């Protein structure tokens, strides 16, 4: 049973708390899809000012839509395309302060103004990405990057 918790610490403390919640949610569960579904729901109730949060999973040389919260989204993104495909190809987190200024940005929800994409890397292979969109510009910074990368590490460690 999941109990909602007041995230009333510092940003860092709140992120540590949500990572603990993630661990508790996925501990002992071997279904990767179920864990991603709960992870997206967890982030959706934790993060403010976001309109889409979810996962794309690698299939051959493209990313295919996985569990998410938000409006229906584009299903397939080739490696190297859009923010997601670029982060996957480079195996590096990308923060986009203004999506309108990112060449090749793929607009799934017209409300999106800024975005962060964190690759999920297992044994040197990109198995997918975590993608989060915000309806405000400049929503994501290095603190988000640091903790979202930790968040993703917890998920990848289950594999």
- Take residue 77 and report the two structure tokens written for it: 């993104």
Q: Could you say whether residue 84 binds ligand SME (CB under 6 A)?
A: yes
The answer to whether 92 and 116 are in contact (CB under 8 A) is no
The answer to whether 70 and 52 are in contact (CB under 8 A) is yes
| Identity of the residue, 26 or 83, whose beta carbon is nearer to ligand SME in the bound complex | 83
Residues within window 1-60 making contact with ligand SME, judged by CB under 6 A: 52
Please compute Rg for the chain using Cα positions: 15
Angle between helix axes 11-26 and 142-156 (nearest 10 degrees) is: 10
Give SS3 for 97.
Answer: coil
Q: Could you say whether residue 77 binds ligand SME (CB under 6 A)?
A: yes
Partner residues linked to 90 by β-bridges: none
Tell me how far apart the alpha carbons of residues 89 and 87 are, in angstroms, rounded to a whole number. 6
| Identity of the residue, 42 or 108, whose beta carbon is nearer to ligand SME in the bound complex | 108
Tell me how far apart the alpha carbons of residues 133 and 19 are, in angstroms, rounded to a whole number. 20
Rounded least distance, CB 143 to ligand SME, Å:
21
Q: From the list 42, 50, 57, 83, which residue makes contact with ligand SME (rule: CB under 6 A)?
A: 83
| Identity of the residue, 10 or 138, whose beta carbon is nearer to ligand SME in the bound complex | 138
Residues within window 112-131 making contact with ligand SME, judged by CB under 6 A: 112, 115, 131
Q: From the list 39, 40, 55, 82, which residue makes contact with ligand SME (rule: CB under 6 A)?
A: 82
Q: By CB under 6 A, which span of 7-15, 35-43, 77-85, 119-127 interacts with ligand SME?
A: 77-85
Q: From the list 106, 111, 154, 156, which residue makes contact with ligand SME (rule: CB under 6 A)?
A: 106
Tell me how far apart the alpha carbons of residues 17 and 30 are, in angstroms, rounded to a whole number. 22
Residues forming the site for ligand SME (CB under 6 A):
52, 73-74, 77, 82-85, 105-106, 108, 112, 115, 131, 133
């Amino acid at each position: 049973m999941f109990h909602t918790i007041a995230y009333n610490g510092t940003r860092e403390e709140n992120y540590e708390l949500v990572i603990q919640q993630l661990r508790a949610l996925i501990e002992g569960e071997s279904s990767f899809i179920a864990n991603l579904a709960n992870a997206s729901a967890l982030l959706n109730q934790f993060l403010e000012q976001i309109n889409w949060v979810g996962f794309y999973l690698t299939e051959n040389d493209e990313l295919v839509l996985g569990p998410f919260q938000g409006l229906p989204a584009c299903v397939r993104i080739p490696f190297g395309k859009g923010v997601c495909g670029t982060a996957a190809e480079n195996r590096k987190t990308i923060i986009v302060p203004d999506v309108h200024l990112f060449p090749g940005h793929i607009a799934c929800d017209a409300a999106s103004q800024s975005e962060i994409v964190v690759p999920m890397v297992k044994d040197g292979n990109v198995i997918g990405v975590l993608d989060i969109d915000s309806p405000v510009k400049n929503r994501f910074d290095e603190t988000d990057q640091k903790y979202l990368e930790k968040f993703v590490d917890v998920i990848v460690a289950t594999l």
